[in-house]
Amino acid sequence: MTIEQENDIEEELGNEDVKSEIPFDPNDINITIIPRTIGQLVDMLEYDEILMPKFQRLPNLWTLKEKSRFIESLMLNLPIPLFYFAEAEDKKWHVIDGLQRISTLEHFILGDTKKENSISKNKTSFKLENLEFKTEFNGEKWDKLPRDIQRRINTNQVTINLIGKGTPDQVKYNIFSRINQGGVPLKPQEIRTALFQGYKVDFIESLVSEESHQGKAFIKATDGSIPKRRQEDLDFATRFIAFYILGYEKYEPDMDSFLTLGTKNIPANKKEQEKIINDFNSAMALAFEIFADNAFRKLPENGRRKPINKPLFEVISVHFSKLNTEHKNKLIKNKKVFLDEYESLQNIREFKNSISTGTANKDSVKERHEKLKTLLEKYIQ
């Protein structure tokens, strides 16, 4: 089974009203409004001055009809929505909002010429289709459009909101989440990916990559139930990292803010990274050893297996990762009685609530971590 074949992740409920308790100074917001033309954006794309993080939300979610209608809007000089970019230390711009429009421009205008580091990864331009007003250009590629139409597209004015490189990460995250409310909005993990490109994102991806030992252990423990699409797998890995590095004792709502802080604290030191990798790999292997196909899931009902539960993944992965070899061997030896008591724990109202609703509340986080920690200590002494 591949990780794309099944997606049975339990939805976390009751977290809508869990507000961040980590304030930021509104004066830290640094956004500059910059006028540009479509032609200038295309020029920046061609020279890799506009980039999309390696693991960002998939471009080209639009159909060819949607892409064609966007190009037609430019032909008609119709106003288009704002673009949001974040300025990196190297002064390159990273797409925050407007990815589908940016990838459409690259696909249509640069598709036959731009090969390396392409956002859209397309080798050839697409042909316009289903145009509503400029129907005479149906079936045409960019290089077949009349020069006056190309000029009209290239000179179309756009407005860009550029988030300055000195803006604090939590402020950036808040901006990203607020502006991505319509269309195909970014998910929280996709926003974090945009914020922390580089070694931090590479490290997170290494935990779940099919090509790494720890990634294979992750896929085996989760039974291939967590998809890569929309970065669900990276979200699970980030949740482990945040609680592993920061500890549940330091958790402050909301969950997204905590995961952002955890990502920020991923060490650059290779030895420290290797320890996290080894502990994660060990936790995944132990979870499969103890729970088999029911790892990170609530108790089956009527013989039917429950979906993956993120709070259970969080507590099991983190506390299993902290066990030394002696403790792991003792747990395996006491597997049967441990599982019996683990099942009883899931039936205790307070613990059950902590993994079912309002899971991002501070009390819920503390409840599930301390209860599982206490249970483990009983069988590793």
Tell me the CA distances in angstroms from 193 to 124, 237, 283, one per residue in order. 28, 12, 24
Which pTM was predicted?
Answer: 0.71
The letter for the amino acid at 177 is: S
Q: Angle at the Cα of 27 (from 25 to 32), degrees rounded to 5?
A: 130
At 24 the pLDDT is: 62
At 16 the pLDDT is: 65
**For residue 239, with 0-12 CB atoms within 10 Å meaning exposed, 13-18 middle and 19 or more buried, which class applies?**
buried
Is there a contact between 253 and 20 (Cβ–Cβ < 8 Å)? yes
Query: Mean pLDDT per 10-residue run, the chain (381 residues)?
Result: 57 69 67 94 93 55 92 95 86 84 92 52 79 96 96 96 82 71 69 80 95 97 90 96 98 92 95 98 98 94 91 98 97 96 96 96 97 95 81
Token pair of 224 as six digits: 């291939």
Is there a contact between 231 and 190 (Cβ–Cβ < 8 Å)? yes
How many Cα neighbours within 13 Å face the side chain of 5? Answer: 6
The C-alpha atoms of residue 141 and residue 133 are separated, in whole angstroms, by: 17
**Is the peptide bond prior to 254 cis by the omega test (within 30 degrees of 0)?**
yes
Helix, strand, or coil (residue 56): coil
How many Cα neighbours within 13 Å face the side chain of 174? Answer: 19
The C-alpha atoms of residue 256 and residue 186 are separated, in whole angstroms, by: 13
At 7 the pLDDT is: 60
At 113 the pLDDT is: 60
Place of tokens 């699970």: 236
84: phi then psi, degrees, rounded to nearest 5:
-120, 130
Token pair of 340 as six digits: 């019996």
